[in-house]
Amino acid sequence: MGDTAAYTGVTGIVYNPDIAGLYARINRFIEEMIASASSGVSLFSSFDQARLLSYTAAITTYQNWILAQPQLDLPKTHDKTYTLKAAPVVPDMENESVKDVLNLLESTRDELINSQSARLPSGLMSFDSTRLAALVAKIESFISSYVAKADPLDLPESSPQAAMTPPGPTGV
């Protein structure tokens, strides 16, 4: 993961490579939103909104791919563990709407790695899939029902409230 974000020292394991894939993708999207230009101001830019919606679409596409695959019977390897890299720590930030989105992404990620599906050899149990879809839908609804109508806010007396969030890594 990028070298500018802070990470918790705790890593975990899951037994399901599909959950490990969702975990890695969601953490990457969290990193992107932390380093977004919108995180340091009250404006949730149309560019960052479009990026966020591409991330939620990617989660849904990955979920649909998982659901389209056959349930695997892996009696000899189903207890294989997948080590999860430490999750990015979401810093305090100026943009409350970006922070709300990050809270929802963290909930999505944490629900998945603590779900019963995390112990399957592959796939998603129906209620975990429903929970994932509902969280993604809530993020998308937040953008269309709140951010598109309420942002930006003119907050000259109370801004800035948080330090600038760091930019993404540079170079190779």
Q: What is the pLDDT of residue 35?
A: 94
- Scanning the structure block, which residue is given the tokens 């909104």? 49
Identify which has the larger pLDDT, 152 or 43: 43
Q: Within 10 Å of residue 5's Cβ, how many Cβ atoms? A: 21
pLDDT at 23 over 90: yes
Q: What is the pLDDT of residue 133?
A: 98
Q: What is the pLDDT of residue 1?
A: 42
Identify which has the larger pLDDT, 62 or 150: 62
Assigned token pair, 165: 């969030």
Dihedral sign from CA coordinates of 59, 113, 123, 139: negative
Dihedral sign from CA coordinates of 163, 147, 111, 70: negative
Q: Enumerate the domain spans of the chain.
A: 12-150
How many residues are present in the chain? 172
Q: How far is CA 159 from CA 53, 95, 117, in A?
A: 27, 10, 43
Q: What is the pLDDT of residue 156?
A: 62
Q: What is the pLDDT of residue 64?
A: 98
67 within 8 A of 130, measured Cβ to Cβ = no
User: pLDDT confidence of 147, banded at 50, 70, 90?
Assistant: very high
Q: What is the pLDDT of residue 113?
A: 95
pLDDT at 74 over 90: no
Dihedral sign from CA coordinates of 118, 119, 124, 130: negative
